[in-house]
Structure 1
């Protein structure tokens, strides 16, 4: 099978799996149609399912590319051992060309993502996103706060917490450090967390291996963070975290047993089509609330 055929086959399977997941999500939504508490749990579960699938697809494509690179390397070695230098340069150029194609493809994907976000901004001027931001802004204004925008890249929860820590506690943590803290804390307190964690396909409680994989994804990928990760952040950092949202309880409080000013984040369900999103907050010194 040609290299392009191998990659196309994997991408085709990924498209099929994405369609299957969306069909599954629609079925789940129907079951929770009239149950508000179940809807909230389902929203977080759907975000986790999508993030896990995206992460797995990315890992599989990277593995395929590494395998193809290995094939090219073996071809070069074989030609050199046989004393056939006439094709060595050609094979090497092929490798460089493929590497460049991967870089170009990645750049194109990033560009498409940015365009998707810009398009979403235009579509939601009078849509759910705008109404949600207005509701959150109104609640923040009562606290003399405003939204501090965080990029939507899978690390938004951790970046929002890092911003709050630097702002309120003069503590500087990298995203990697925060992810490691969360992964370590969940592993060390497995029996407190695992009852609230389930397999995305069977909905059964995670096996020991699945639990280890879940923690490793927190540590080494950009998998989205939710309620479990917020709880782990609050406990590992020993500080309260308050989540402001447009609908449902005005404030979700985590870590009330800890002292000090809480870290205050804004939770958006309709920020982007790419998934749910967390922003940080800051003082509204000029009483001009951001709309971004």
Structure 2
């Protein structure tokens, strides 16, 4: 295998000399054809070397040979740039100088390590660029939070933070039900999940057109998993408990979901805060309570 590699290196050097000479002798009219011929010679030699390596059972790294050919191409291109552009060598072109007999041998470069170092440098540069671009982006979480706090103050509301565990909508509704003195069994999120699942099952005609999966699977996710809740579940809970649900969102927008209730009865309402950017898992609901005399309701 060492003999094969030694011969490959010699053939690469010979090809380098031939390609360099061809490109130097090329005129403007023949340069394109000469470049194509040189590329063909390089490609054929590379394929020949790779075939010989495969026949030797792959005991050496093919990437090393490919790297040598890549370096050869770069060297040839460098030689071409030294010419005057009309196929004649420049006056400043360096000539090969013989090495003194007592010159110290130069250490062979590890081309694979060089390529890995270049890749690492490129990746580091890309990471630095991404970090720089991120600094120029707005802090969506901070901006949303600032606007939400201002909207809460305008509605005389204070926030009860709910754990971001997939049950946040149901836990927030359970907290509001307790404030309204509507009985809820513990754990609260489990009771509200069962209530939402039961209402959707009993009124399937109102919900099936909006589902992207069979009703049974959808109800199972509501009742027995930590699947997030959304608009349909809020509607089901509002109807179940006969309570209007007011959802405060960014920029002060309030979405009211009517719970129905009997005519003549005083309407009850609950408040939830909806965040799009404020929490790591994504969309999130918190419970919002009315303030009384500067204090939290119930606290």
Query: What is the TM-score with the length of structure 2 in the denominator?
Result: 0.48
Between 1 and 2, higher relative CO (CA 8 Å, sep ≥ 6) is seen in 1
User: 1 or 2, which has the higher helix percentage?
Assistant: 1
User: Which one has a bigger Cα radius of gyration?
Assistant: 2
